[in-house]
Each structure stands twice: as structure tokens, then as C-alpha cells.
Structure 1
Amino acid sequence: MSSINTNLSAITALQSLKATQTSMNKNQNQISTGLRVSEASHNASYWSISTKMKSDNGALGAVKDSIKQSKAMIDTYTSALDKSMKYLDTMKAKLTAGSNPGADLAAIQVELKSSIEGLKSAAGSATFNGQNWLEGSPSTVKLVTSYDGESQKVNSLEIDTTKVNLFDDVADPKAGLLKNVANIDIATAPKAQGYTDLAIDAAKVNATAGSEDKIYIKLSDAPNTTLTFTVTGTGSLQDLADDINADAGADNVDSKIEASVVDGKLRITSKTAGVDVSASFSDTAAGAAGTAAGTMKLDTTALTGLSQGDKIKFTANAVPLSFTVGSEKNAAELAASINADTNLKTQVTATSDDDGNLILTSKTGTVSAMTFENTTKGVDTTYGQIAVKDALKAVDKAINDLRAGSAMLGANKALLETQEEFIGVLSDSLTAGVSAFIDADMNEVSTRNQALQTQQQLGVQALSMANQNSQMILKLFQ
């Protein structure tokens, strides 16, 4: 049936052309944007997933920027610490030179002051983005390292700035790793109390009656007087120090010196400023009666550790006598030296046996109360050099502290570099994932565009032909 009101062929051709046009519009949109899912209506699921992934990737980009800033910040502080280490090394060299008696401490202090100002400058100028870990109040700083999209949480690396805090205030340091260094002044040091350190093995301290160990002390304000402390108990070095501090014997040891334990050594300190101290510890071993009448013997065990300054004491015919060890290394050499001694050879004869024991025999009577004192001398100081020694100790400690701080910063920077690499890989993976969901395959789009253009041309021709069907009806009425 032919109708002039309804052209079914034209309607069909028009619908087909519209569908083709719609497909072309969609295809051209993909060509212009490069996306096959550019809005939720194209694919709600893919659009939602890709949107979240792009958001997470943006957060990761911010994390990467933060890590770069953190690395630059650490580099700033590391450079300042390296410079500070050079200043400290210079100070250490100057103080070592100042340890020599007669050194010009005032001139050295001028050089030390210059290095101290350099340390303050390095700490005060180590500012990055308004932060300075080397100066001010130490705290725990959190550096951004990652973003967890699942839990919407920013993860961070905690750094304790106490380990690199050089000064609380460079203008007036009262705290910080370099506080003691900043206060060094060897030119106008107070006349501190002198002290000496004795290296004593507490396990060998002897309080046995008749062979008690002794500590001999001399003070520079009374050079001809020797204070004697006789060991009254055994135990730790701290126990020995406590006994010395409680001694109120004839020499009034407790009123003139104070004992303490420092770095595993017994420290004897003058209670008077400007007074030097020297001391020695006598590890006493008692001799035994010999097999023959009028003899006494020191066995080879007692003579272990023989050194210059050790003493052999004994009584011969009621006369107290002593022999001070020089270069002798064994009992045979001791015997030869005693027999050559002008004061001793008239009283006793010294021999040694095959076991390395020393034997004394009285020439006219008896030998008794024989002891061997193995002497340990303290490390003497003078109060003029105490400031130098303490300063050198403070600088050494500062060097170790800064070395530990630099190592901490280096380890954290290495961690940030590893994290930065991981974040980069993760960001690339998210970018690839987003592409898989929403990016158009341009090869496919291009091929489809050619096909749609052909379909469009055919549709136009089909519609034109369908419209001509109505013209054919006119011919029927001619």
C-alpha cells in the first residue's frame, strides 16, 4: 500500500541515519577526548573506579612532593652537621696542642671561640621551609611517606630531633648537644680541684690483716706529707670510694680528698680548689716463712706484674727496711739488686729458687713482716690543665653525638629514597589502571570512524531514495 501520509521507508531510513549519527558523535567524542568513559553515563562502574583511582593517584603525587621536600630538608641539616664536625675537629686539634704544659691557653681560646661561633652560625642558619631541627626545642617530627587509599590514612616517618639538636638558643645555649662545647673557656678557667684516676681491679683489693692494700695520696699544698688510707674491706670500687670518704683516721683523709668512681676508675679529688693530687695504690702480698730459720719467701705469684716503683718491705733484726724495684723483671734480678744495695746487703742475703721465688735470709738474726707492694700510680693532673682535659672530653663527646645524629639522618634519607621509588611505581600502576578502565583504543576508534562515515553516507542516500517514493505517486495521477 502506498500512502502520502506515512512514508515507512523514509521513517526507517531516518531512524537508521539518526542511530549512525549518534554513534558517530560518540566516536568523535572519544577521538577528541581520548576517553571511552568520560562521564558516569558511559559506564557508571568504570567511571566510579577510575575516579577513585585518579584521586588516590593525586594524593600519591602530593606524597612524592612531600618526600622530595623532606629529603631536601635532611640534606640541609646533614650539610650543617658536616660543617659542625669540621669545626669540632679543629677544636680537638687545638685542645690537644693545649694539653702540652706551657701552652698559650689564651691564644688557643681565641681560636676555639672562632670555631664556637662557627658552630652557632651553622646551627642557626640550617633553616628549611621555616623549620630548624638543629636549634630550638627538640621534638618528634613526622614526615609524610605514603597514603593508604583503603583506610584514607596518611602514613609518616617519625624523627626524634633530640639527636641532632645542637643548641636550644645559639645566642645563649643552655641545652643541646653542643651546650658544653659552647661554654668552653680554657683561658679563664676556674682553679678547679685537682684529681687523679687509679686503675684498680676491685677483685684484687685485699684487706687481710698484716697485708692490707694501701692508697698513698699527696697534695700539692703539702708536698712533704703523704696521706695513707688502709683498705678495710673488699667489694666494688664504689665500696672502696665510700670507705675512703668515711675515713676519719689520723691522716684525716676524708677532710682533704673525695673519692668517686668515674669511667671504671677510682678518682681521688682534692677538696681544695687549685690543689693538685697524686696518688698510688699498693696491692700488697704477704711473704711466708722460709724452710730454714731466719728466712722469708715471696712466691712467684706475688711477684706477678713486677714494675718500676714497686716495693719489697721487711723487718730484719727489728729494723724496718725496704727495696724499691727499678728495672728488675724477675726474682733472680731482684736478688742481685738487693745483694748490691749498700743498706740491705749487711742485713740480709737474697736468693731465688728454680720456681722463681725470692728468698731473704738474715745474716745475724731474723727476717719478718715481709710484703710486696705492687704499685699502681694514678694519672696525675694539674688544675691548670683540667679545663683543657674537660674541654677535650666535651668535644670528643660532641663529635660522637654528631656522628650518631648524621647517621640517623642518613638512614632516614635512605628510607625516604626507597619509599619515593615505591610511590613512583605505585603511581605508575594506578595511572595504567585508570587507562585500562577509561581510555579509548584509538586504533579501534579510527577504524570505527571510517565505517560510520560510510554508514552515514549510505543512510543519507537511503533516506533520499525513500523520500522520492512519494513523488512516484504523482505519476499515477497524470
Structure 2
Amino acid sequence: MNSIVTNTAAISTLSSLRAINASMSETQAQISSGLRVETAADNAAYWSIGTTMRSDNKALGAVVDAMNLGSATVDVAYAAMESTVDILDEIKARLTAASEPGVDRSKVQKEIDQLQDQLQSVIDSASFNGENWLKANGTSADVLSTTIVSGFTRDEDGNVALQTLDVDLADTVLLNDSGGGLLQFGDGSFEEFGGFVDAYNANGFFSPGTFTGPFKVSSGDSLSFDIGGPSLPTYTVTIDRDTVDAALGSEANGTIFGVSDMATVVNYAIVDAGGSLSDAQVYVTGSNTFYNVSQSGLYEMSPNLSVVDSGADEKVSIMDMTIAGTSGSLEGQIGMIETMLQSTTDAAADLGAMQSRLERQTAFTNDLMDSLDKGIGTLVDADMNETSTRLKALQTQQQLSIQTLSIANSSNQALMQLFQ
């Protein structure tokens, strides 16, 4: 039945055209964005998964940046540690040369001074982004520890966690203002005078003593005791920084490296006070032990030993190495450098292992980010071949629908001619 009020064919065609236009708009949006699922309305589940994975991928990108920053810090520390090993080798060679007869010791000392200055420069320069793993000021855990970001994870319950690599700076710090660095030795305490005070015995000159380790006599530090006898005057023996430098040489700068240095200083002070080594003398009886027995039995040590500790407690380090002192001191310093070389070599090996770990972790994280990108694309990306083909088909359908609508509308015009 034909009607001039209701054009059934036109209504049907117009409905089809609307559906085609809607499909075209959706397809064009996919082509424009490249996404099959752009909003939650497109596919709520896939959109939610894709959004979460994109967020994780951004976090992983930040992790890679943090690991690159950490790697750079490790690289700087490793380079400085390698230079330190080379400089320690040079200082050891100079100390060894100084122990040989006929060597111009003053020139050797100048070379050592230059090497020490160079080493200090290397340590001070081993800083990246404000972090220097080769120097510190303190012994607390927060001072001697740091972390490097190494990963980002999300568990099955959706909980996220940042993974870190803990770094114990006690294994890398070369010089610490509070002591304990790899290039430091002794606790810096003057109060025991390397074990001399502990060996004090008022009933004799000394009981057997053990040298406790290198130490430095700071300005303001002093040690004094009396020696005398029934028929002899009492002598007050005083040891301070000037005494040390007078006994060992000005290059010593108040530093006593070994038991032979300590014995030399004490004996010098006894003579300087007016006493005689034939009656009172400190003997070195082993690599770290000392003793005294009054040969004539005339001298006795009075029970009034006095220690004035300025509290400076300067820490002894590689920077105090010197050719001043006894031959035993040079041997002791060479042995200390051997220990330092082993410590710094171990530290460099640890840093090298950390470098490798961070490189592998960075490579893995980059691969993981690529995998996540692929996974997100599988869920939400549009197939451009399919989408472009669909658009072409919809454009054809649109043209046909427009033509069909035109025909449907023209049928009413033919009907109106019957009434003319």
C-alpha cells in the first residue's frame, strides 16, 4: 500500500543510513587514534587492563632512569677506585725505594707528597649527583649505606613494590672523618699512646706491652712520667708532638706508625729529660711488643704518669705515610699499604660486580617494557588493515543508502502526479 503520509521505504533506508554513519564515526575514530579500545565505553575490561599496564610501563621507565643514575654513580666510584689502586702501588714503590741505602730520601718524600695530593684529589672528585661513595663523615648506618632502585613489581593482588639494591658504603669508603676507611688504620686515640700507658707499671719501668696500632700526637697532646732512683735525681719525661717530630723527623707530623717508632720516641724523650739509656731504655722484643728492664737497677718509674689528651684524635691514614721514622716504620707502612691494596682491590671487584648486575637489570627492564607495550597493543590497538577495509565498505554502503533514500523519496512524487 502506498501512502503520502508515511513513506515506509524511506524510513527503513534512513534507519540503515544512521547505523552506517554511526559505524563510520566509530571506524574513523579508530583510524584517527589507532586504538580499538580508546575509552572504557569501548570495552571496560580491556580498557582497565590497558590503563593499568600503561601506568606500570611509565613506572618502569622511571626505574630505568633511576638505574642509569645508579650505574653512573657506580661507574664514577669504580674509576676512582682503579686510580686509587694505581696510586697505592706508586706510594709503595717509593717507600720501598726509600729503604734502600744511598737514596735521596728528600726527593722520595716529595714524590710521596705529590702522590698523596693526587689521591686526595681523586677521592674528592669521585662524586656524581652529589653522592661520593669514597668519603664519609660518620659511622652510623644511615651515613654508610645507600640504595639504588633496581625494579618495579606488581603481584597477583595488585599490590605494587619498588625493588632496591642495598649498598654498604663501609666497603667502599676510603677516608672517613670518623675513622674506619679502607685507607685508614688505628683509632686515632692518643690516650693509650699505642699501648704504652697500658704497659705502665709503677713497680718497674714497664711490664711487657703490646703496640696497639698507629696513632697521631696532636698539638695539645702530651704524656709525662717520672724516672729516678734512691741516689739519683728524678727526671720528668715529657712526650708531645714536638718530641715525636724531633725523634723521627719533621716529616713525621706527630705520627707513630709502629712499635719501633714508639720506642725511638720514648728513648729520645728519656735522654732529652736528662736520663740515660744505660739505665732506662725501651726495647722492641717482637713485631708489636716492647719491654724494659733497668740495667743498673737505679731507675724506677714513679707512679705519677700523666696523660693530657686534647681530644683531637686525628685519624691516621694513607695521607700520613712518610719516610720519616725508623726502618721498622717503613716496613710497617709497606705492610699497611699491602693491606690497603687488598681492601681497595676487593672494593673495586664489588663495584664491578654491581656494574654488571645493573647492566643486566636495565636490559631486562627495557625488554619487559617492550613486552608490556606489545601486550597492551594486543588488547587495545586497532588492526589498521581491517579498519581501513571496513571504512571503505561503510563508505560504499553509505553511498548506496543515500541513493536508496533518494529513490524512496521520489516514489511519493510519482504518486502525487495522479492527483494532477
Question: TM-score per shorter chain, which class?
Answer: 0.5 to 0.7
C-alpha spacing 1:402/1:111, structure 2 compared with 1 (3 Å): same
Which 4+ residue blocks in structure 1 deviate beyond 4 angstroms?
A: 180-187, 190-193, 254-260
Q: 1:162 aligns with which of 152, 157, 170?
A: 170
Aligned to 1:36: 36
Instruction: Give the Cα–Cα distance (whole angstroms) in 2 for the partners of residues 112 and 399 of structure 1.
Output: 16
What whole-Å deviation, never above 9, does each CA across 1:188-231 have from its counterpart, x for those lacking one?
A: 34786539xxxxxxxxxxxxxxxxxxxxxxxx99xxxxxxxxxx
**Native 8 Å contact 1:145 1:155 kept in 2:** yes
Matches within 5 A, 1:387-398: 387-398=329-340
State the SS of the aligned residue for 2:136. Answer: coil
Aligned to 2:11: 11
**Native 8 Å contact 1:193 1:270 kept in 2:** no
Are 1:108 and 2:95 matched, yes or no? no
How far is the alpha carbon of 1:69 from its aligned partner?
Answer: 1.4
Are 1:443 and 2:385 matched, yes or no? yes
How far is the alpha carbon of 1:168 from its aligned partner?
Answer: 2.3
State the SS of the aligned residue for 1:194. Answer: helix
Instruction: Give the Cα–Cα distance (whole angstroms) in 1 for the partners of residues 153 and 396 of structure 2.
Output: 50
Aligned to 1:374: none
Q: 1:269 aligns with which of 262, 271, 290?
A: 290
How far is the alpha carbon of 1:259 from its aligned partner?
Answer: 5.9
**Native 8 Å contact 2:81 2:344 kept in 1:** yes
**Amino acid in the other structure paired with 1:157:** L
C-alpha spacing 1:20/1:392, structure 2 compared with 1 (3 Å): same
Structure with more of its chain in strand, by fraction: 1
Aligned to 1:50: 50
Are 1:404 and 2:368 matched, yes or no? no
Structure with larger Rg = 1
Instruction: Give the Cα–Cα distance (whole angstroms) in 2 for the partners of residues 477 and 30 of structure 1.
Output: 51
**Among the aligned pairs, what percent are the same residue?**
37
C-alpha spacing 1:80/1:447, structure 2 compared with 1 (3 Å): same
Are 1:194 and 2:260 matched, yes or no? yes
C-alpha spacing 1:140/1:193, structure 2 compared with 1 (3 Å): closer
How far is the alpha carbon of 1:39 from its aligned partner?
Answer: 0.7
Q: 1:145 aligns with which of 142, 146, 150?
A: 150
Instruction: Give the Cα–Cα distance (whole angstroms) in 2 for the partners of residues 383 and 43 of structure 1.
Output: 84
Aligned to 1:129: 129
**Amino acid in the other structure paired with 1:90:** E
Instruction: Give the Cα–Cα distance (whole angstroms) in 1 for the partners of residues 329 and 292 of structure 2.
Output: 17
Are 1:476 and 2:418 matched, yes or no? yes
**Native 8 Å contact 1:193 1:383 kept in 2:** no
Instruction: Give the Cα–Cα distance (whole angstroms) in 1 for the partners of residues 260 and 154 of structure 2.
Output: 66
Aligned to 1:236: none
How far is the alpha carbon of 1:416 from its aligned partner?
Answer: 0.8
Q: 1:465 aligns with which of 402, 407, 414?
A: 407
Instruction: Give the Cα–Cα distance (whole angstroms) in 2 for the partners of residues 475 and 395 of structure 1.
Output: 117
C-alpha spacing 1:193/1:437, structure 2 compared with 1 (3 Å): closer
TM-score, normalized by length of structure 1? 0.59
Give the paired residue count. Answer: 305
Aligned to 1:233: none
**Amino acid in the other structure paired with 2:148:** L
**Native 8 Å contact 1:99 1:388 kept in 2:** yes
How far is the alpha carbon of 1:256 from its aligned partner?
Answer: 5.5
C-alpha spacing 1:128/1:402, structure 2 compared with 1 (3 Å): same
**Native 8 Å contact 2:83 2:122 kept in 1:** yes
State the SS of the aligned residue for 2:290. Answer: strand
State the SS of the aligned residue for 2:164. Answer: strand
Instruction: Give the Cα–Cα distance (whole angstroms) in 2 for the partners of residues 193 and 41 of structure 1.
Output: 84
State the SS of the aligned residue for 1:42. Answer: coil
**Amino acid in the other structure paired with 1:423:** T
Instruction: Give the Cα–Cα distance (whole angstroms) in 2 for the partners of residues 4 and 41 of structure 1.
Output: 41
Structural RMSD (CA):
2.9
Matches within 5 A, 1:350-429: 384-429=326-371
What whole-Å deviation, never above 9, does each CA across 1:234-274 have from its counterpart, x for those lacking one?
A: xxxxxxxxxxxxxxxxxxxx9965767x6xxxx553559xx
**Amino acid in the other structure paired with 2:35:** L
Instruction: Give the Cα–Cα distance (whole angstroms) in 2 for the partners of residues 256 and 107 of structure 1.
Output: 32
How far is the alpha carbon of 1:180 from its aligned partner?
Answer: 4.5
Are 1:177 and 2:185 matched, yes or no? no
**Amino acid in the other structure paired with 1:89:** D
TM-score, normalized by length of structure 2? 0.67
Structure 2: runs of 5 or more not aligned: 138-142, 187-213, 217-244, 262-266, 269-279, 294-323
Aligned to 2:395: 453
Matches within 5 A, 1:317-332: none
C-alpha spacing 1:53/1:454, structure 2 compared with 1 (3 Å): same
Instruction: Give the Cα–Cα distance (whole angstroms) in 1 for the partners of residues 180 and 116 of structure 2.
Output: 15
Instruction: Give the Cα–Cα distance (whole angstroms) in 1 for the partners of residues 327 and 114 of structure 2.
Output: 21
Instruction: Give the Cα–Cα distance (whole angstroms) in 1 for the partners of residues 410 and 168 of structure 2.
Output: 88
Matches within 5 A, 1:164-243: 164-169=172-177, 174-180=179-185, 188-189=251-252, 193-194=259-260
Aligned to 1:20: 20
Structure with more of its chain in helix, by fraction: 2
Instruction: Give the Cα–Cα distance (whole angstroms) in 2 for the partners of residues 385 and 36 of structure 1.
Output: 83
**Amino acid in the other structure paired with 1:457:** Q
**Amino acid in the other structure paired with 2:93:** A
What whole-Å deviation, never above 9, does each CA across 1:334-387 have from its counterpart, x for those lacking one?
A: xxxxxxxxxxxxxxxxxxxxxxxxxxxxxxxxxxxxxxxxxxxxxxxx962122
State the SS of the aligned residue for 1:9. Answer: helix
Instruction: Give the Cα–Cα distance (whole angstroms) in 2 for the partners of residues 398 and 9 of structure 1.
Output: 98
C-alpha spacing 1:4/1:98, structure 2 compared with 1 (3 Å): same
Instruction: Give the Cα–Cα distance (whole angstroms) in 2 for the partners of residues 383 and 122 of structure 1.
Output: 27
Instruction: Give the Cα–Cα distance (whole angstroms) in 1 for the partners of residues 65 and 349 of structure 2.
Output: 24
Structure 1: runs of 5 or more not aligned: 196-219, 222-253, 273-381
